[in-house]
Amino acid sequence: MPSTSSEEIPPAEPGALALPGRRAKGFLSWLDGFLSEELRRAPLEEFGRSRVLAGASLSLVLISGLITIAFILGGLSSYYVIAGVSAFAGYASALWSLRRVSSPRLPALLVSVFMAFTSMLTAFVANDTYLSAHAVMMLITSLTVYLLGPRLGLVTLVPMVLIVGVGHPFWRQRFGSEPPPLTHGYEWVMHVLAAICMFAGWAVGWLYSNAHATTHAALERDIKARKEAEAKLSELHRTLLDVSRQAGMSEVATGVLHNVGNAINSVNTSIGVVTDRLRGSRISKLVQATELLDQHAAELPAFLTTDPRGSMLPAYLGALSAQLVAERESLLTEMKALGESVEHIRSVVSMQQQHARYGGVVEQVTVPQLINDALRLSGGEFERLGIDVRREYAEVPPIEVDRHKLLQILLNLLSNARHALMDSTTPGKRLTIRVRPCAGGAQLRIEVEDNGVGIAPEYLTRMFSQGFTTKKTGHGFGLHISALAAQELHGRLSVVSAGPGQGATFTIELPLHGAQVSELMAPAS
């Protein structure tokens, strides 16, 4: 008795099983015991074909055995008995080989060849033309095409069709004789054979329907699992975008607060200077001189000429006037600095509002100006750290792009370069930003180059992978989201580095539209 399969058989479609569900599963598990381990673990389509082949082989073994017994009991010619025994042995060998092969191709070929050979041989030996049109021929046709496929099935079907359609009738008319009289035993054998073949055809159809239902159910589960995975991936992508946007907002907010904080410090300094100078102002001395004149108003000429205090008053007022003028100029200078600080605060806030307002909107952007804005939004960190920032901007036309996404990429690259330079021990820290057209003029290239810590060769291919970071406190999504944003802008983000300690260059390539390319390629006047 063959061993049963331990694998769970997926449920079939409603109506596909003619037996009760539990009994059907039990029968299929028993039938799977005729298959090798490789066939039981094969893909669903090949597994279903192997199961049909096992069922068909088992049915043909039973049919050939019963027919052989009927031939013996009916007293038919030994040719029939030999043919029946040969067919039984052939189908049994095919069933036996299913336990030892990794592909159902060879057992299927054995079954198809034995079915065709036995049917044709019986038709010739029996000298009966109606055997060529027996019900078993339909079983041979359906099984051959299903088990071997349309192309390889022709190897069996074409010779059989030629023999049925041409060979057997021609042989009977030329060399055969009248068919033997129809005995009762022969009649019973033919009718029983037809009935068994009909039942076998139903069984094979049931196995095929079950295999199809199993494959369909597995595909539906696979599609459902794939959709769930895609939904999770989409949700993760949205989460990453939100986190990146929040990180970008935090980066911008940090820059804004830093700039505003510096400006507020200047405002506080100017206010302190103005307050101190107002407190130490000579205005009180002028008030004292005025009071002294008021006290001697009645005798003012005598007071100014004969009184020692009065005679010194004109010179004192002149010196006091000069001091008050100097105080006024100093106060005006501080008020000017105070106004510039307030204007700087307004400019920073206005610039941030401008960039935040147009998220998701494609507009014409002057790239050098946007880079300068990104540097200012970085909070002046490069200047504070003593990093030499070099700007190499070629003459390029404005591009149509989502300002917010490009600004987010630039801020991420500037932050990445700043960390690389801060972690480097190389003297003369330098950041170079280049803007120039690509070869051919169809794209615009932005390069952010630093002479910082550099990137190891084994990390270059992973720099834009989600979650990958070389920083101790890094989160691993800044460059990944920047690469995705570049793709959404129909561009690309790449990186090159000569190795650790050799710095790195990140490059953004963005497409130029037709009018922009024409403007770029036009000769200078």
What is the per-residue DSSP string for 295-324? HTSTTHHHHHHHSHHHHHHHHHHHHHHHHH
374 and 353 share one domain:
no
Using alpha carbons, list the distances in angstroms from residue 458 to 11, 485, 497.
Answer: 48, 24, 11
What is the distance between the alpha carbons of residues 418 and 466, in angstroms, rounded to a whole number?
A: 21
In a domain, 216, yes or no: yes
CATH of the domain at 385: 3.30.565.10
Instruction: Write down which residue in 198, 230, 262 finishes a domain.
Output: 230
37 and 164 share one domain:
yes
327 and 453 share one domain:
no
pLDDT for res 201: 57
pLDDT for res 394: 93
In a domain, 6, yes or no: no
348 and 374 share one domain:
no
Instruction: Write down which residue in 212, 230, 248 finishes a domain.
Output: 230
Q: CB neighbours of 502 closer than 8 A, spacing ≥ 6?
A: 451, 454
320 and 285 share one domain:
yes
Total number of domains constituting the chain: 3
Helix axes 184-279, 136-162, angle to 10 degrees: 100
What is the distance between the alpha carbons of residues 524 and 73, in angstroms, rounded to a whole number?
A: 107
Instruction: Write down which residue in 357, 373, 400 finishes a domain.
Output: 357
CB 433 within 8 A of CB 447: yes
- pLDDT 10s digit of each residue in the chain, 525 long? 444 443 444 444 433 333 446 677 788 888 888 999 998 888 877 888 888 888 888 888 888 888 788 778 877 677 778 878 888 888 899 889 998 898 888 888 888 887 777 777 776 766 665 565 555 666 676 677 767 776 776 777 777 777 766 776 777 777 766 555 556 665 666 566 666 665 665 666 566 666 666 667 767 787 888 888 888 888 877 777 777 667 666 666 665 665 566 567 667 777 887 888 888 787 878 888 888 888 888 888 888 888 888 788 888 888 888 888 888 888 888 888 777 667 767 766 776 666 555 556 788 999 999 998 888 777 567 888 889 999 999 999 899 998 878 987 898 899 889 989 999 988 899 999 999 998 777 889 999 999 999 999 999 988 888 777 776 666 667 788 888 889 989 999 999 999 999 999 999 999 987 545 555 555 544
76 and 214 share one domain:
yes
pLDDT for res 195: 66
209 and 264 share one domain:
no
Using alpha carbons, list the distances in angstroms from residue 162 to 170, 176, 253.
Answer: 11, 18, 85
CB 172 within 8 A of CB 127: yes
368 and 219 share one domain:
no
In a domain, 9, yes or no: no
pLDDT for res 368: 94
> What's the token pair of residue 284?
């009180």
In a domain, 340, yes or no: yes
In a domain, 10, yes or no: no
410 and 317 share one domain:
no
CB 264 within 8 A of CB 338: no
pLDDT for res 15: 36
| C-alpha R_g of the chain | 48
The dihedral through the CA atoms of 224, 225, 226, 232 has a sign that is positive
pLDDT for res 366: 93
250 and 192 share one domain:
no
73 and 207 share one domain:
yes
290 and 330 share one domain:
yes
- Structural domain containing residue 193: 21-230
The Cβ-side half-sphere exposure at 523, using a 13 Å CA radius, reads 1
In a domain, 127, yes or no: yes
In a domain, 11, yes or no: no
In a domain, 8, yes or no: no
